[in-house]
């Protein structure tokens, strides 16, 4: 599924096309998403988009009247297209602008979301309890160590918990733990502060690099202009179970944790 870098790439891609633009129409072709598309979403018509931001994996298009919240789910993509572009299968929603372009959401699995909120977005149940953004200063070197004390869950599960820190999805958790030399099964509460400080910096570096390279291309993700992301070319462990470690040539092992693939090097990574 699209992770934080992919969503940030999407935000950067759509911003020049929608910021300070006026909404002329909203087109709902299928309201049955993960949560039903908000019935009063046509209130956006005539509104000017004054801010395009991101919180975790949610895209936020703010107007004076309210905020459009978009989530790509498992397989969603957003395109900036001419408004009269022929509709394809799974094109569920268009946000049409007076400039003549539209933001079009395509989502085969319909696990995404399109919500129009007129209350304080930060207080909405989907956003209120989220942890800090990993690329901001609030995610500092002491944060993970403090949050992890007395935690018995595996370190990979811990850093993927959005209530701890947002956006460290499966791909980037695998990569960060490998670079930090920490086994994904290591108990979170047993990791030293020094190792957590190092892991914090590596998480920031891995996510920033993925954003700069355009996100990670898996089966579903492409950028807003249709081009794929390129970070997949830099993956050191994710998707390479059974292959040789690029550092020591030990065969990489793959296990399942909470239904997700964890790939690690039994030589380079320790408890």
Q: 143-264: same fold as 4-123?
A: no
Active-site option among 34, 204, 209, 260: 260
- Can 57 be counted among the known catalytic residues? yes
Query: Do 73 and 111 form a contact (C-beta atoms < 8 A)?
Result: yes
Active-site option among 2, 5, 134, 184: 2
Q: Which CATH number fits domain 143-264: 1.10.8.50, 2.40.128.280, 1.10.287.110, 2.60.40.1180?
A: 1.10.8.50
pLDDT value of position 147: 96
**Per-residue model confidence as pLDDT tens digits over 128-186:** 999 999 999 999 999 999 999 999 999 999 999 999 999 999 999 999 999 999 999 99
- Can 134 be counted among the known catalytic residues? no
Beta-bridge partner residues of 67: 62, 117
CATH superfamily of 4-123: MutM-like, N-terminal (3.20.190.10)
Domain boundaries of the chain, sorted by first residue: 4-123, 143-264
109 annotated among ligand-binding-site residues: yes
Active-site option among 3, 6, 8, 133: 3
Nearest CA to 203 out of 249, 156, 250 is that of 156
pLDDT value of position 1: 63
| pLDDT of 216 strictly over 70 | no
Number of other residues whose CB lies within 10 A of the CB of residue 92:
22
Nearest CA to 148 out of 159, 139, 138 is that of 159
Active-site option among 54, 57, 147, 195: 57
- Can 3 be counted among the known catalytic residues? yes
CA end-to-end span of the chain: 28
Q: How confident is the model at residue 6 (pLDDT cuts 50, 70, 90)?
A: confident
Lookup: tokens for 131: 């942890």
| pLDDT of 259 strictly over 50 | yes
251 annotated among ligand-binding-site residues: no
Report the predicted TM-score, pTM, of the whole model to 2 decimal places: 0.88
- Can 260 be counted among the known catalytic residues? yes
17 annotated among ligand-binding-site residues: no
């Amino acid at each position: 599924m699209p992770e934080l870098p992919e969503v940030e790439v999407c935000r950067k891609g759509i911003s020049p096309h929608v910021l300070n633009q006026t909404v002329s129409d909203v087109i709902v072709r299928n309201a049955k998403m993960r949560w039903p598309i908000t019935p009063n979403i046509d209130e956006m018509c005539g509104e000017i988009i004054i801010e395009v931001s991101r919180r975790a994996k949610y895209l936020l298009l703010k107007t004076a009247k309210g905020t459009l919240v978009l989530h790509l789910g498992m397989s969603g993509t957003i395109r900036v297209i001419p408004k009269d572009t022929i509709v394809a299968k799974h094109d569920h929603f268009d946000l049409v602008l007076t400039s003549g372009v539209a933001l079009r959401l395509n989502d085969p699995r319909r696990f995404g979301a399109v919500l129009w909120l007129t209350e304080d977005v930060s207080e909405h149940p989907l956003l209120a309890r989220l942890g800090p953004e990993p690329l901001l200063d609030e995610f500092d070197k002491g944060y993970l160590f403090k949050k992890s004390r007395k935690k018995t869950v595996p370190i990979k599960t811990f850093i993927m918990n959005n209530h701890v820190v947002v956006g460290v999805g499966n791909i980037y958790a695998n990569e960060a733990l490998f670079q930090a030399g920490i086994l994904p099964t290591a108990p979170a509460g047993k990791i030293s502060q020094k190792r957590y400080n190092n892991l914090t910096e590596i998480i920031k570096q891995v996510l920033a690099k993925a954003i700069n390279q355009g996100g990670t291309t898996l089966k579903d993700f492409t950028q807003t202009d249709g081009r794929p992301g390129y970070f997949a070319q830099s993956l050191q462990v994710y998707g390479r179970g059974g292959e040789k470690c690029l550092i020591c040539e030990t065969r990489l092992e793959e296990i399942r944790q909470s239904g997700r693939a964890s790939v690690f090097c039994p030589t380079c990574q320790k408890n």
